[in-house]
């Protein structure tokens, strides 16, 4: 579907109109996989927090790259290499605009959020975190925003601190403030929780981190698909995201970093493209952002990511957020009616995720039975075991949605869950 | 139809999940071993009381999906009062069943009630669920205190 991009520039979130059912129907036609049937049943895809589906615009952009633009970047004299470089660097500009970064030099392409966080831990972290220093996280972090910091702290003799969350799944801000001190060198926190859906008060958390001189990294993997992201407004030092969670290809991600910080950081990996000159005596590193992009990059991935960004801008992220608020409200109201169902994660500010338990039916049995109806949900610990432990469960069922999901799909989910409950009663 | 998924969720499985047999701890157990599947969080403890080579008493506690819980329940029901060697025999038969081709014939006589797990053949990710308790019991007889099916 086509909407003017002006909408995104002028409307505020409060003014933005949710998509109408015909608009959603048109959007759904952009996604080939949503047209497929299994055993005659349409796909109800509610596992978007694991990975999102891809619109034709993204599929076409990667295909077009391989069909007519394929060459290596930043090195050829020939026309194809110039074209590939245009595609690749064009995507960087798309991402810069998408997250409102000041310069393209601040946009580093990576394999995904996980690699982005590891890059910061291994480069910035090893340079700036020493014995007795502290790294502050929250209980609701994904394993990819826990383990890299654990590795860093173990290596550097530093201490990992964790801000607790309350029963609703919100960060205890009092405790968060209390844990910050001049020892805190890095604060790493998720923008939106993949297991609970909680939207964190990132701007305030960044401000508090800066108050004690700490750098702030934001895991934006679950935010980018759902809402406008403005790194200038958040004032975060690093922002990480994955293309595949925002309707782009797998194996492609972004690290945003403030230029002054990236400039002062040592390279993460060595190889081609990240150098200006090499002799056996001395190597001069390339300028930003190429200093952090060793080796031939994921050019097709960049082409797809650029297309995903333009697709989202065209839909208008404010309208996406407005429509998804409606979906969340409807989903919660509908699922609440299922006997024995209880929610895990009831924060006041939520996006994209409804995690739940159904009496004492194991999430894997729920997922298996929903699959019979061609309803895809995630069952498990969602790579967030400390979060599960906080709520005293080993696993939850999680319905995670995107702007192409419908209220009717939540009705189908609730109906199926009612039947699952009866089967196990 | 949700209720049509009989291939996997046989009535016997649902019933054992709802009312598990020997679902308790044995305080003076001769063998006690934990079985853990880190992938899905299934976590059981198996208790065994021996009388020579005979399984005088056997029980389990813990949490898991319907398949893993029913399997643990059936295991305790089928092995109580039997020689230790019977555990290995039945485990081998169950293992052969769930890893066989979905179209292969099922030896109903040899398997007895374990034939209810024939539906697992269609869902390879659930094999570990069906065999978790049995792995734990085998480990218990080998003198281990913990087994993981990762």
CB contact under 8 A, A364 and B65: yes
pLDDT at residue number A82: 94
CB of B72 closer than 8 Å to CB of A412: no
Supply A221's token pair.
């993997």
* Annotated catalytic residue within A95, A274, A383, A413: A383
Q: Which residue of A has its CA nearest to B16?
A: A424
Would you list the DSSP string of A317-355? HHHHHHHHHHHHHHHHHHHHTSTTEEEE---SSB-SEEE
**Which residues contact residue A253 at a Cβ distance below 8 angstroms, ignoring those fewer than 6 apart?**
A109, A110, A111, A112, A113, A114, A115, A116, A240, A241, A242, A243
ipTM: 0.88
Closest residue in B to A41 (Cα–Cα): B1
Q: In whole angstroms, give the CA distance from residue A324 to residue A222.
A: 13
> Would you kindly state where each structural domain of chain A is located, as residue ranges?
6-53+316-418, 60-313
**What is the architecture of the domain spanning A6-53+316-418?**
Alpha-Beta Complex (3.90)
Q: What is the mean pLDDT of residues A332-338?
A: 98
Asked if A171 has any chain B CB less than 8 Å from its own CB, the reply is: no
User: Would you identify the CATH topology of the domain B2-148?
Assistant: Sufe protein. Chain: A (3.90.1010)
Query: Which residues does A6 contact at the CB level (< 8 Å), separation at least 6?
Result: none
Measure CB to CB from residue B2 to each of A388, A394, A416 and give the nearest one: A416
Polymer length in residues for chain B: 150
Neighbours of B110 (CB within 10 A): 13
What confidence tens digit (pLDDT) does each residue in A194-250 have?
A: 999 999 999 999 999 999 999 999 999 999 999 999 999 999 999 999 999 999 999
Tell whether A35 lies on the interface with B, counting CB pairs under 8 A. Answer: no
Using a CB–CB cutoff of 8 Å, tell me whether A232 touches chain B. Answer: no
In the prediction, which pLDDT does A13 show? 56
Q: What is the pLDDT of residue B1?
A: 47
Is B44 touching A (CB cutoff 8 A)?
A: no
From A113's Cα to the closest Cα of chain B, the distance in A is: 22
Q: Per the structure block, which two tokens stand in for A185?
A: 């060198």
Rounded to the nearest 10°, the torsion over CA A410, A413, A417, A419 is: 120
pLDDT tier at B144 (50, 70, 90 boundaries)?
confident
Are residues A95 and A225 in contact, defined by beta-carbon separation less than 8 angstroms? Answer: no
Reported in sequence order, the residue ranges of chain B that DSSP labels E, i.e. its strands, are 31-37, 42-51, 54-63, 146-148
How many residues are listed for chain A in this entry? 425
- pLDDT value, residue B69: 96
Contact predicate B8/B17, CB 8 Å: no
Give me the pLDDT at residue A12, please. Answer: 57
> How far is A47 from A380, CA to CA, in rounded Å?
12
Tokens, residue A272: 């081609």
Q: Give A40-73 as a DSSP string.
A: TEE-EE-BTTT-----HHHHHHHHHIIIII---S
DSSP state of A292: G
What value does the mean pLDDT of chain A take? 95
Provide, rounded to the nearest whole percent, the portion of chain A with pLDDT above 70: 97
Cβ–Cβ contact A420 with B under 8 A: yes
Kindly state the helix (H) or strand (E) to which residue A32 belongs, with its residue range: none
Contact A423 B129 (CB under 8 A): no
Q: How far apart are CA A96 and CA A218, in angstroms?
A: 16
Give B137 to chain A, closest Cα distance, Å. Answer: 22
Task: Return the CATH fold of A60-313.
Answer: 3.40.640
A273-331 per-position pLDDT tens digit:
898 999 999 999 999 999 999 999 999 999 999 999 999 999 999 999 999 999 999 99
| B66 chain-A contacts, CB cut-off 8 A | 361-362, 365, 424
3-state secondary structure at position B21: coil
pLDDT for the residue A4: 42
Interface membership of B43 toward A (CB under 8 Å): yes
Residue A5 has pLDDT above 70, yes or no: no
Yes or no, beta carbons of A423 and B123 under 8 Å apart: no
- pLDDT at position A110, please? 98
Question: For residues A337 and B148, which has the higher predicted lDDT (pLDDT)?
Answer: A337
């Amino acid at each position: 579907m086509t909407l003017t991009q002006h909408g995104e520039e002028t409307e505020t979130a409060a003014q933005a109109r949710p998509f109408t059912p015909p608009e959603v129907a048109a959007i759904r036609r952009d996604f080939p996989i949503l047209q497929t049937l299994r055993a005659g049943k349409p796909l109800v895809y509610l596992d978007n927090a694991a990975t999102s589906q891809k619109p034709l615009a993204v599929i076409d952009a990667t295909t077009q790259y391989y069909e007519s633009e394929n060459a290596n970047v930043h090195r050829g004299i020939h026309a194809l290499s110039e074209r590939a470089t245009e595609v690749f660097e064009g995507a960087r500009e798309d991402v810069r605009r998408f997250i409102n970064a000041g310069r393209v030099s601040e946009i580093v392409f990576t394999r995904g959020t996980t690699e982005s966080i590891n890059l910061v831990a291994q480069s910035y972290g090893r340079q700036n975190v020493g014995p007795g220093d502290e790294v502050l996280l929250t209980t609701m972090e994904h394993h990819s925003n826990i383990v890299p910091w654990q590795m860093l702290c173990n290596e550097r003799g530093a201490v990992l601190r964790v801000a607790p969350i309350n029963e609703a799944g919100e960060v205890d801000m009092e405790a968060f403030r209390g844990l910050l001190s001049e020892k805190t060198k890095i604060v790493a926190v998720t923008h939106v929780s993949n297991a609970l859906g909680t939207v964190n008060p990132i701007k305030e958390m960044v401000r508090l981190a800066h108050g004690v001189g700490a750098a702030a990294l934001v895991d934006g993997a679950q935010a980018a698909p759902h809402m406008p992201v403005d790194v200038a407004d958040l004032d975060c030092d690093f922002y990480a995201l994955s293309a595949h969670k925002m309707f782009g290809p797998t194996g492609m991600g972004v690290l945003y970093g403030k230029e002054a910080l990236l400039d002062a950081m040592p390279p993460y990996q060595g190889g081609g493209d990240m150098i200006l000159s090499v002799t056996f005596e001395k190597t001069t590193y390339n300028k930003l952002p190429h200093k952090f992009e060793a080796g031939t990059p994921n050019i097709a991935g960049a082409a797809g990511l650029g297309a995903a960004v333009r697709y989202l801008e065209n839909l208008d992220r404010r309208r996406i957020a407005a429509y998804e608020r409606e979906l969340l409200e409807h989903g919660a109201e509908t699922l609440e009616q299922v006997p024995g169902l209880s929610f895990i994660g009831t924060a006041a500010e939520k996006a994209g995720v409804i995690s739940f338990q159904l009496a004492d039916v194991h999430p894997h049995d729920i997922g298996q039975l929903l699959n019979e109806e061609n309803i895809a949900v995630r069952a498990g610990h969602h790579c967030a075991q400390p979060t599960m432990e906080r709520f005293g469960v080993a696993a939850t069922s999680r319905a995670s949605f995107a702007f192409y999901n419908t209220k009717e799909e939540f009705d189908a989910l609730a109906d199926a869950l009612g039947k699952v409950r009866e089967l196990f009663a | 139809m949700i209720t049509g998924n009989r291939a996997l969720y046989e009535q016997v499985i649902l019933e054992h999940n709802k009312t598990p047999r020997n679902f308790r701890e044995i305080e003076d157990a001769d063998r006690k071993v934990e079985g853990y599947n880190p992938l899905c969080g299934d976590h059981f403890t198996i208790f065994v009381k021996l009388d020579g080579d005979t399984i005088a008493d056997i029980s389990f506690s813990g949490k898991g999906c319907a398949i893993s819980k029913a399997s643990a329940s059936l295991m305790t029901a089928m092995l109580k009062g039997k020689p230790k060697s019977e555990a290995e025999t039945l485990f081998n038969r169950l293992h052969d069943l769930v890893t066989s081709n979905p179209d292969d014939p099922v030896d109903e006589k040899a398997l007895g009630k374990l034939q209810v797990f024939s539906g697992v053949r269609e869902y390879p990710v659930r094999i570990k669920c069906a065999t978790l308790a049995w792995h734990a019991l085998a480990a218990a007889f080998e003198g281990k205190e913990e087994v993981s099916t990762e």
